[in-house]
Amino acid sequence: MDEPDRQRNLSGKNKEQADLSKQDKPSQKQVISKEDEPSQKQAVSNEDKSPKKWNVSKGNKSSGRQIVSDGDNSSKEQIVSKRDKSSKEQLTPSERESGKRLLSELSVIYSISSLSSFHREEELLHATVNMATLLLGVRYFGLVALCGDGYHVMASSGFKDPALLIKKIEEGKPNQFLFSFNCEKPMILFMERNNSITDRERRVYTIFANGIQTALSNAFTLKEKEKAEKELKTSLNEKELLLKEIHHRVKNNMQIISSMLSLQSNYVEGEAVNVLKESQNRVKSMAIIHEKLYQSNDLTHINFKEYIESLLYYLSDSYTGNSGAVTIKLGVEEIFLGIETAVPLGLIINELVSNSLKYAFPHGEGEITLKLHRRPEGFELQISDNGIGMPEEIDFTTTESLGLQLVSALVNQLDGTVKLKRENGTCYQIKFKELKYKDRI
């Protein structure tokens, strides 16, 4: 072989060895993944004197696995968490089971808290039975109230005969749960499962029992409150009927007195007839008040506008002979007054309107105006007519007329004042306040 050919062969072999050397170099370097910090890429040469050389491949990113191989071709598998750059250990089956039990218990406790939303005893007992059998897995359930002469089964499930519940309570087996508490009367809660009850389950059952106790206590309180309200309402209705009956009888008695005065007037003559008639009208004015009271929904106040309309209709009819052409005009607000104010005010109206009907219109024609309005300081009553007027020499405060004396006395009873105007007829202006009810001795 010629010398040039020998050199060409050597050159080719050297080139092949150089290529092989380049292919071996990646296996002699250490590639470190992004998760391994602080350095991110590092190459280790053959001259590195460390005892082991590691080659870490990227592996499958989706699975989170990385294969770490050493120089002796032995491999190790490492689980890398995607959420945390540091590796974490997986939960053991027992730990997972414990977590599930905890979540289940919390769910049951949350459901138990809903018992407080039941305010009726029947609804609460029904919900309690359902929760025990469906949620807590109880086979037998019973709630017993102890009475002086025995017991009363308030709720039960799983028993064909509730009397068997008492026998079950006396057994005292490990798969039974008993809880005693007081709620109006001593009570016993009984529950039984097919399997033995663990300590954790007993704690949940105790929470359940306490929830029943609180809810029952609230339900009993509400029941007693409703019972008291019902009794109070019944008592008020009875008193209302009694008051209506009293006003009705007072009105009837006054009507009898008025009728007797009317009959008596047939046996007298002259001024005595007018005296009896005036007395009859006064009794009638009070009788109408009691009539309005027993007809009203409010037994303490009457609609005074309606009362005035009834009274004036009666007075106008009573004096038909003298006032056939007399017109009565009303300007009255919708005012409600108590009997303390209504009786004296009704008598005042009766006296002043009767005087106008009897004396103001000798020719039988005229107009009477009555106004009643609420004022900031109380009330104002105005009764006027366009008749002949009251003579100047008569002082209504000192006159011997019984009617006007009654007006002055009744105005004082109302803590009011009265003024008389004699222009274009007669006008009485009365200001007063509503009287409050005073306790009788």
Confidence (pLDDT) at 215: 86
Per-residue pLDDT at 351: 93
* Matching residue, tokens 């001795």: 441
Is 109 within 8 Å of 135 (Cβ atoms)? no
3-class DSSP assignment, residue 204: helix
Burial 132-168 (b: 16+ CB within 10 A, else e): bbeebebebbbbbbeeeeebeeebbbbeeeeeebeeb
pLDDT per residue as tens digits for the range 21-41: 444 444 444 434 444 444 444
Entry pTM: 0.56
- Write down all domains in the chain, each with its CATH number in brackets: 3-79 (no CATH), 96-228 (3.30.450.40), 304-432 (3.30.565.10)
Kindly give the interhelix angle for 199-264 and 121-130, rounded to the nearest 10 degrees: 160
State the pLDDT at residue 4: 47
282's tokens? 């006064």
Tokens of 395: 């002082």
Q: What pLDDT does residue 56 have?
A: 41
What are the tokens at 9? Answer: 């062969």
pLDDT of residue 127: 86
DSSP assignment of 238-260, as one string?
HHHHHHHHHHHHHHHHHHHHHHH
pLDDT score of 30: 41
Q: Among 194, 321, 299, which Cα is nearest to 246's?
A: 299
pLDDT of residue 48: 45
User: Which pLDDT value is given to residue 384?
Assistant: 95
Q: What number of CA atoms fall less than 13 Å from residue 250's CA on the CB side?
A: 17
Rounded distance between C-alpha atoms, residue 304 and residue 342, angstroms: 7
Percent of the chain residues past pLDDT 70, beyond the cut:
73
Please report, as a single letter, which amino acid is at residue 400: E
Can you tell me whether residue 327 is helix, strand or coil?
A: strand
Give the chain's residues under pLDDT 70.
1-89, 95-107, 110, 162, 320-324, 438-441
